Structure 1
Amino acid sequence: MKVDTSSAGDAGVRAGAGESAVAAAVAAGEAVLSRRFGSAITLVHPEDLEGSGPATVVRARVVSSSFALPRTLVVKHYPDPPVPGRGDRFAQEAVSYQLFTALAPDERMCPELLAHDGRDRVLVIEDLGRAPTLQDKLAARDSRAAERALLSWARSLGRLHASTASREADFNALLRRLGGPGRIEESDLAAQAAEVPPMLAGLLGVSVPEAVLERVATAVSQARSAAFRAFSPVELSPDNNLVTGSGVRFLDFERGRVRTALVDAAYLRLPFAFCSDALALPAGMSEAMIAAWRAEVVSVWPSFADDAELAELLTVSELLLVWQITRVTLPRLDLRRHAAPVSREAALVTWWRNLAKHAGYARHTDVAEHATRVAAALGARLGPHADLAFYPAFR
């Protein structure tokens, strides 16, 4: 599944490496492993895993050695230097894996980091094998298997949050050691949010009431808050999660950082919304996922045991998430033609309708009424079939 990163300022995308890139990754992996273990280690039979980010990702077999290395492992090589003024994807991923590798295995939620090197910009991580991804489960025709995978994903996300809720200082210290900033700064959410009202007015003829603008300002403040902070993979795409016998495991930390966990929790209401081919889940699935996530984090954040308080916090985060999706998506849509059920047009209508429903439950009447107007304006332009289709597993 592809993630819409057009506004993220990536240094580049390496979708499918050539032979020279694979060879460079293998050489970098051998070098860092040899330094780590003090003896030459050879990697053979490399397989290009075709990462969608700036890294070359290779699975390789380890030639027999005296070290307790697994038979196969995964090398992630970032051949390009960081772009000044932009985040360093290598540093963020290396630090993320370091953070989790320091935890007990049952708290790790990701492959183990075996070796890394800032000079060669390479990581060597545990190979979790050829387990299906969460996307594979959603694309198959087994609804029960897809349900179990989604609930496992939500539980793993909660355990990830709970195990890192007090580790921000550790993350920042590790980042500094790799030459990164002492803290990854928030994007200018207020400036981004300010772009949406004129967009809604100009493209849809819907004005934003002052009360809703105040709710958005609250959402921005909540996203920047020091409360409920924990590690986040940020790119919550089903392709980045392996469904293993020990639960769902996260794979991609190129944008990993510490932020309020409520941002991630909002994705349980609008699953994978920033993915370009996101589809819908059946009624009740999101609520079940939130319950699974809450069961893992409530011991760390006891206030989440209060249904009303959690609904309030999640609705505020959901509002900002829909706002951000609209900012990125709306200008690109073709509002002159009817939407297909698997289109981004249908997705945007669905996210606004969901926001209206959830805001109504939380008694945010102003947001519910505004979201209803936006959804109606989109529906009027996109036709009667602007309902987002379910993932194949739920059809």
Structure 2
Amino acid sequence: MLDDRALTAAASAAGLSPLRFERQLGGSDRSQVCRVADADGTTYVVKQYLSRDGGTYAREPAALEALAGTGVGPRLLGSSHDPDLVVLADLGTHPTVADALLGRDPDAASAAIDGWVDAIAALHLAGDDDVLDTYGRRLSARAKDMDTHRMPGTFSYAADRYEGVGQRLGVAAPPGFLEALRDLTAGLGPAPPVLTPGDACPDNNLLSDGRVVLLDHEFAEVRHPIWDVAYLRVPWPTCWCSWRLPDAVADGAVDRYRAAVAPRVPSVTGDRFLADLDLATLGWCLSSCSWQIETAIEEDRGPDGLDGPTARPKILHRLWLASRLPGPAPLTAYARRLLDELSRLWGEPTLVLAPAFRSDDITIP
């Protein structure tokens, strides 16, 4: 719940009359999201950042300012740095792509994924030089030394984690693996960089009027567009609801993205795009596993109070996928070694399909 200080700051930031708290809409340990109303009953959304770790307080308003007028995200009405918060236009209450995936209608889930793809494609196409430049300037104004591009650091962090994991399991990460992981982003082909939310999970959006509006730009950054597309192949590497997708659904969604973007970026129709997609899928598999393995060795936990898979099936599935993908041999070979060792410890729990697709579920080898 927002306190009086936050409500006052929000009203001042957006040039509104005094605001009153209506209800909590969501949040995490990083932020709280609430609906508020002014004296006339018009409602708005206020997101207050509870920590400065990760720079979410600076990344999100900078991204929304850069994307203003593109229609690909919520409209920013104002921001405050004391306390850290943003005021957004209220888009109303609508389901998310996650709701469709957790339902029982495969057609509705497929349509929701198509909407997600359309939104990602629109976001990428909107990310011209002016948008990227505005994001960099607005981010720097809030946090002078914050990087606009974080993926190289993501893989350096993952390599550091694997050093500890390998020692703990008695399957030491060889130097070739650590070097290849740290240098993974250098293997991607050239592509126009895009501004992305960085965490376009199935629940970070609204399904409204036949389209998906992307929410939550806390981890916004400028990067190669393939990282967003690879979310379909892992799938959803940074998300709690990361059940598997049927291959036909994931492949069809990738094809839909390519068709949407091709008129402006013809290179997405070529083989290099597919090679980059394999490498980005491999990268997401390995990096996301590194965040969870040590905890999963002790306990196979799932997301508290949410219908998402537990850690061990996700890890085993991603290592299995990583071991089968084309890519640098040190990466795929060590993924297989880890998979063998963790399968020995845990057995072979299967990551099943998202609930909406479970009528045609299969077992992973």
Same fold (TM > 0.5): yes
Q: CA RMSD in A?
A: 3.1
1:190 aligns with 2:166: no
Q: What does residue 302 of structure 1 align with?
A: 266
- The answer to whether the Cα contact below 8 Å between 1:45 and 1:60 also exists between their aligned partners in 2 is yes
* Aligned-pair CA distance for 1:53: 4.5
1:150 aligns with 2:113: yes
Superposed counterparts of 1:63-82, under 5 Å: 63-64=39-40, 71-78=42-49
- The answer to whether the Cα contact below 8 Å between 1:190 and 1:220 also exists between their aligned partners in 2 is no
Q: What does residue 29 of structure 1 align with?
A: 10
- The answer to whether the Cα contact below 8 Å between 2:155 and 2:182 also exists between their aligned partners in 1 is no
- List gaps (5 residues or longer) in structure 2: 303-307, 359-365
Q: What does residue 24 of structure 2 align with?
A: 48
Note closer, same or farther for the CA distance 1:391–1:188 as it changes in structure 2 (3 Å cut). closer
Distance 2:182 2:46 in 1: 42
- The answer to whether the Cα contact below 8 Å between 2:100 and 2:112 also exists between their aligned partners in 1 is yes
Superposed counterparts of 1:232-381, under 5 Å: 232-306=196-270, 308-334=271-297, 342-359=309-326, 371-381=335-345
* Aligned-pair CA distance for 1:51: 1.4
Note closer, same or farther for the CA distance 1:118–1:356 as it changes in structure 2 (3 Å cut). same
* Aligned-pair CA distance for 1:112: 1.1
- TM-score (ref. length: structure 2): 0.83
Q: Secondary structure at the match of 1:193?
A: helix
Q: What does residue 203 of structure 1 align with?
A: 169
- The answer to whether the Cα contact below 8 Å between 2:285 and 2:321 also exists between their aligned partners in 1 is no
Q: What does residue 170 of structure 1 align with?
A: 134
Distance 2:104 2:134 in 1: 42
* Aligned-pair CA distance for 1:219: 1.4
* Aligned-pair CA distance for 1:130: 0.8
Pick from 65, 83, 87 the counterpart of residue 124 of structure 1: 87
- TM-score (ref. length: structure 1): 0.77
- The answer to whether the Cα contact below 8 Å between 2:149 and 2:221 also exists between their aligned partners in 1 is no
> Which is further off, 231-240 or 273-282?
273-282
Q: What does residue 4 of structure 1 align with?
A: none
- The answer to whether the Cα contact below 8 Å between 1:233 and 1:252 also exists between their aligned partners in 2 is yes
1:61 aligns with 2:37: yes
- List gaps (5 residues or longer) in structure 1: 1-16, 35-39, 65-69
Distance 1:176 1:192 in 2: 26
Residue 25 of structure 2 aligns with an amino acid whose one-letter code is L
Distance 2:233 2:192 in 1: 18
Residue 128 of structure 1 aligns with an amino acid whose one-letter code is L
Q: Secondary structure at the match of 1:303?
A: helix
Q: What does residue 135 of structure 1 align with?
A: 98
